[in-house]
Amino acid sequence: MFAEYYGFNAMPFQLTPDSRFFYSSSVHARAIAHLIYGLSQQEGFIIVTGEVGAGKTTLVERLWSQLDRSTYTIARIVTSQVSGDDLLRLTAAAFGAGEGGDKATLLRGIEAILRDHRAAGRRALLVVDEVQSLSVAGLEELRMLSNITDDGHALLQTILLGQPQFRRMLASPELEQLRQRVLASFHLGPLNEDETHAYIEFRLRAAGWAGNPSFEPEVFPLVFRHTGGIPRRINRLCSRLLLYGALEERAEISAAMVETTARELLEDLGSGHPGPAMPGSASLPGSAQAAGALELAHLAHRMDALEHALARRERVFQRFIDLLGTLSDVRRP
């Protein structure tokens, strides 16, 4: 809805990864360079780690958009604590080899289709996401698949995407042989404050932003402070911020709107919001009467804040209903 209100041609802060909105920060540019180098080796494993929402999947989507699909066969698996045998079934299904039969049948099927791809001049690339959820046995199955060769050439190359704890897993003695097959590894960190500013404006422009709405200069440092520079958190906050602006018919996004939206996101996600601390609460005298008065004052403050939030949400809800009615009238033949 806010896309139509502000005249965007796309949703600038959608959570679904889209290579059109890839912002090449200094961190992401280095990550892409590591991926390209790893792919050039045509064997082994490439590892990219990062916090939840850091942009690992978007990074791979960007890489895919740059690869020649006629020379690559790409299969992707999102793991969820599957066993080693189940991982083989998922791999077989992802490459179109069928997932029936016992383990030996699965391995023969995977090897056969990998050889077919090589004979057709295509390289097979397997991307495994959420790899920190895999067991050691599952990771060992992936290592064994990397041993499949033809005339001295590896038939499969694998990209592993995971959260930071995967690096600790990889350091275990049981995965020594897998570590020896890692050709490139990169940890995707957050954006800094300047990059957060540039990231927001880049995504807005990619969606057709022409200055409406405008943004107070203080907005961008506040977004960085509330999101820590993690792209998915930035997207979530900015999307809600633009919705707020559209419903309230704001032509400018203010710092106060950022604070309000960030607080509401915390409340909506169940994290709660502590509210302002009452001065001197840590050093009250042991008077029950004084403590009671302080508690009442704090409660009154919370009630005022709650009433203000409810009133604003009521206005937003009414505006939302009005906009839906307007859109229905416009689209009615």
Contacts of 285 (CB under 8 A, 6+ apart): none
Assess whether pLDDT exceeds 50 at residue 285. no
Residues 32-50, mean pLDDT to the nearest whole number: 93
**Contact (Cβ atoms closer than 8 angstroms) between residue 260 and residue 244:** yes
Rounded to 5 degrees, what are φ and ψ at 269? -85, 5
Residues 251-259, mean pLDDT to the nearest whole number: 95
pLDDT at residue 38, rounded to an integer: 92
Q: Give percent of the chain with pLDDT exceeding 70.
A: 80
Q: What is the mean pLDDT of the chain?
A: 84
pLDDT band for 319, please (50, 70, 90 cuts): low
Q: Which helix (H) or strand (E) holds 72?
A: strand 72-78
| Residue 267, both tokens | 């409340």
Residues 90-114, mean pLDDT to the nearest whole number: 89
Sign of torsion over alpha carbons 96, 146, 138, 76: negative
Q: Where are the domains of the chain?
A: 2-13+192-271+296-331, 26-186
pLDDT at residue 152, rounded to an integer: 87
**Whether residue 12 has a cis bond before it, omega within 30° of 0:** no
Helix and strand numbers (H, E) in the chain are 13, 9
d(CA 111, CA 321): 57
| Residue 80, both tokens | 């969820």
Residues 118-141, mean pLDDT to the nearest whole number: 93
CATH of region 26-186, choose from 3.40.50.300, 3.20.20.450, 3.40.50.620, 1.10.3720.10: 3.40.50.300
d(CA 173, CA 171): 7
d(CA 313, CA 319): 10
* Tens of pLDDT, residues 298-311: 555 455 555 555 55
pLDDT at residue 297, rounded to an integer: 53
Pairing of β 153-154 and β 149-150:
antiparallel
d(CA 36, CA 59): 12
Assess whether pLDDT exceeds 80 at residue 15. yes
CA 202, 206, 211 angle in degrees (round to 5)? 75
Contacts of 235 (CB under 8 A, 6+ apart): 13, 14, 15, 203
pLDDT at residue 318, rounded to an integer: 56
Residues 122-131, mean pLDDT to the nearest whole number: 94
| Residue 290, both tokens | 């004084």
What is this structure's pTM?
Answer: 0.76
pLDDT band for 243, please (50, 70, 90 cuts): very high
pLDDT at residue 83, rounded to an integer: 85
Q: Which residue has the higher pLDDT, 317 or 44?
A: 44
Residues 42-67, mean pLDDT to the nearest whole number: 90
Residues 317-323, mean pLDDT to the nearest whole number: 56
d(CA 326, CA 275): 37
The answer to which of 215-229, 231-245, 314-328 has the lowest mean pLDDT is 314-328
What count of residues does the chain have?
333
pLDDT at residue 270, rounded to an integer: 53
* Tens of pLDDT, residues 55-101: 998 888 888 888 888 899 999 998 777 888 889 999 999 998 877 78
pLDDT band for 292, please (50, 70, 90 cuts): low
Q: Which of 79-88, 116-125, 273-282 has the highest mean pLDDT?
A: 116-125
Contacts of 257 (CB under 8 A, 6+ apart): 219, 241, 244, 245, 250
Q: What is the DSSP string of 281-324?
A: GGG--S-HHHHHHHHHHHHHHHHHHHHHHHHHHHHHHHHHHHHH
Assess whether pLDDT exceeds 50 at residue 209. yes
pLDDT band for 271, please (50, 70, 90 cuts): very low
Q: Which residue has the higher pLDDT, 100 or 174?
A: 174
The answer to which of 216-230, 272-286, 316-330 has the lowest mean pLDDT is 272-286
